[in-house]
Amino acid sequence: MKATLIVHRGVPGEPERTEQFEVAFEPGQSVLDGLRIVRRDIDPTLAFRFACINANACKECMMLIDGKVEYACTSRLKEGLTVLAPLPKKALVRDLVTEIVPPDERL
């Protein structure tokens, strides 16, 4: 069984593109699990944020998953296609990473 992640990629000032990645699917996997497999085994340049695994923090992995704002760590990966995009109305840093801290709170 396979899961296919269609990922919006790019950096500010360049045209956005999508790339498709296939990963082995196992029930219970999160979208974050799928992204980590892609970065580890297929494309180490894929940019996304997460901190919940070791830092006991949350809200880092928010992105658009099939058109809805969700956490990649709690959203379940599904067999078939899943479309991932950066958060809307946020400044793009790279790929799925957006600026999530309000400008007046940055150090």
The stretch 23-41 carries a mean pLDDT of: 95
β-bridge pairing 17-24 and 92-94 = unpaired
pLDDT on residue 31: 96
More confident position, 30 or 53: 30
pLDDT on residue 60: 84
Rounded to an integer, what distance in angstroms lies between the CA atom of residue 10 and that of residue 33? Answer: 21
Rounded to an integer, what distance in angstroms lies between the CA atom of residue 82 and that of residue 7? Answer: 8
Model-level pTM?
0.87
Domain 2-105 part of CATH 3.10.20.30: yes
Rounded to an integer, what distance in angstroms lies between the CA atom of residue 83 and that of residue 74? Answer: 16
Task: Give per-residue pLDDT as tens, 35-93.
Answer: 999 999 999 999 998 876 555 557 789 999 999 999 999 899 999 999 999 999 899 99
Q: Cβ contacts of residue 106 below 8 Å, gap of 6+?
A: none
